[in-house]
Amino acid sequence: MDGGDTVDEGRRTPPHHPIFGVRLEDDHVRQVIRTVLPSHEVTSIRQLPSGGSYNNRIYFIDTRHPSAVGLSLVLKVNGRFFGAEKIQNEVGCLSLLERDCASIPSPRVRAWSEDGRVASVITGNHSFEKHTIEDITTPGWILMNRVPGESLSQLAGTLAESGLRSVGAQVAEMVAVWRRSISPQRYCGNLRFSESTGSDDAADIPETPSSPALAIRGVLADDIKAFQPIDSVLGYYKISLENKLRDLESNDLYAPNRSVIPTVRAFIGQALPRLGLIRDNDGSNGFVFTHFDLSPRNVLVSGSPPTVSGIVDFEFSGFFPALDEFVNDYVDNGGDWPAAAYEAYLERLGELGVPTPARGVHENIWRQAVWLGKLLTNLAPWWLPGPHKGNELLAQLQKAEGVVMDMVSTLELAT
């Protein structure tokens, strides 16, 4: 069975998608498994169809073993715009869940490669062995156990309101577990292997049974490769906004929108530090573990009554201001959640003592967080050009420019 889709790929995977041109032949998939699990034989390989994943090429693999139970695995291959940082972050986040939140059904890492060729394999005694995979050229990858179930986004239309509410409440209970069980951190951002930061004292989280020691550095979602730690909410927003401004200045795609630069720079220096969101949240209580993309497509459900059988895709997870778990739902995943499920999710979180926009967070603070999220998303829109060209692209840029100016004006009035 051929796991790739080079044939007709121009039609099946749009050229602007990160996984365009990223593929492994079945022989290469088998080579990875032989290296990582030498006593297992691959019995099937199935590629997640184009459109099922945006940032990664995904392969589902089944194995058999002469004297043990076979395995169901997922090989997750980086899209072409991502490097070792994304691999390190997801391995680190999944290792924290495995160590501190064993009750949460999340993938367990078997092995990973930051460059596609040198594999770090987790051995039976929880140490790491490195192996070189010859004659293979691919971006970095992670091999993990497959979590059962279908995504809530696929099943939502088949579930009654009571089922949707049950799923939402179950997700809330899992989020509450990682809020309670994974300690807040003094720095904000994503995880790196501390050895990769070039600093002797970079470790913020000690080595776990399934990953090296970790440092909290940079913000993957905004392509911020900072090696200096971010230690305040103000610093987080300043660095994020300034990084977007650099994109706006350097990328000719965004040239029509450069007139907003002086306005945004003035906002960063004058109004941003005075926002209640900033004044009331200096980061002194630590930054909390955050999924950062808790969309229905990343919630797996099985059985009847519906049970949450897995939460997946922790590639952008990390330690962020507490409201970021919800801001992304409203700004980037707006409309994805079935209303009944999301209402139950917020209700149950509130009952479990986790402040949410519906309970425990002042309305003005929540609004400011959403406005800042919209400002960041539209300043150098990551989704452009996408399929847009010519006048259609210009219209999209003008729309984003209008949102930026509206958000700056609104936020300035809120100070």
Structural contact between residues 242 and 380, judged by C-beta atoms closer than 8 angstroms: no
Give the pLDDT of residue 6. Answer: 36
Q: Per-residue pLDDT for 96 more than 90?
A: yes
Contacts of 89 (CB under 8 A, 6+ apart): 190, 191, 192, 220, 315, 316, 317, 318
pLDDT grade for 116, boundaries at 50, 70 and 90: confident
Structural contact between residues 191 and 89, judged by C-beta atoms closer than 8 angstroms: yes
pLDDT, the chain, mean: 90
pLDDT grade for 195, boundaries at 50, 70 and 90: confident
Q: Per-residue pLDDT for 151 more than 60?
A: yes
Q: Given 120, 145, 170, which residue is the final one in a domain? A: 145
Give the pLDDT of residue 224. Answer: 87
Do 129 and 37 reside in the same domain of the chain? yes
Do 129 and 250 reside in the same domain of the chain? no
Q: How many angstroms separate the CA atoms of 123 and 119, rounded? A: 12
pLDDT mean over 168-173: 98
pLDDT grade for 285, boundaries at 50, 70 and 90: confident
Give the pLDDT of residue 200. Answer: 61
Give the pLDDT of residue 274. Answer: 96
Judge whether 203 lies within some domain: no
Q: Which two tokens stand for residue 317?
A: 């997870």
Judge whether 338 lies within some domain: yes
pLDDT mean over 343-351: 97
Q: Which two tokens stand for residue 338?
A: 């079935």
Do 174 and 77 reside in the same domain of the chain? no
Judge whether 198 lies within some domain: no
Do 236 and 341 reside in the same domain of the chain? yes
CATH number at residue 317: 3.90.1200.10
Do 36 and 178 reside in the same domain of the chain? no
Q: Per-residue pLDDT for 404 more than 60?
A: yes
Judge whether 34 lies within some domain: yes
Give the pLDDT of residue 81. Answer: 84
Q: Per-residue pLDDT for 375 more than 70?
A: yes
Which stretch of DSSP H or E encloses residue 162?
A: helix 161-181
| Tens-place pLDDT, residues 119-145 | 999 987 667 889 888 777 778 999 999
pLDDT grade for 201, boundaries at 50, 70 and 90: low
Q: Per-residue pLDDT for 4 more than 60?
A: no
Do 58 and 162 reside in the same domain of the chain? no
Do 124 and 261 reside in the same domain of the chain? no
Do 170 and 31 reside in the same domain of the chain? no
Q: How many angstroms separate the CA atoms of 56 and 78, rounded? A: 5
| Tens-place pLDDT, residues 175-189 | 999 999 999 999 999
pLDDT grade for 24, boundaries at 50, 70 and 90: confident
* 25-29, 125-129, 329-333, 343-347, range with the lowest pLDDT: 125-129
Judge whether 100 lies within some domain: no
Do 168 and 119 reside in the same domain of the chain? no
Judge whether 235 lies within some domain: yes
Whats the size of the chain, residue-wise?
415
Do 181 and 237 reside in the same domain of the chain? yes
- Is the pTM here over 0.75, yes or no? yes
Do 54 and 174 reside in the same domain of the chain? no
Nearest to 283 by CA among 231, 339, 347: 231
Q: Which two tokens stand for residue 138?
A: 């691919």
Do 35 and 122 reside in the same domain of the chain? yes
Q: What proportion of the chain, given as a percentage, has pLDDT over 90? A: 73
Give the pLDDT of residue 138. Answer: 77
Give the pLDDT of residue 45. Answer: 97
Judge whether 19 lies within some domain: yes
Residue 42, SS3 per DSSP: strand
Domain count, the chain: 2
| Tens-place pLDDT, residues 291-304 | 999 999 999 999 99
Judge whether 213 lies within some domain: no
Q: Residue 13: which domain range?
A: 9-81+108-145
| Tens-place pLDDT, residues 203-239 | 899 888 778 899 999 999 888 886 789 999 999 999 9
**CA distances in angstroms from 10 to 16, 21, 52, 54, 387, listed in the order given:** 10, 9, 16, 15, 13
Give the pLDDT of residue 278. Answer: 94
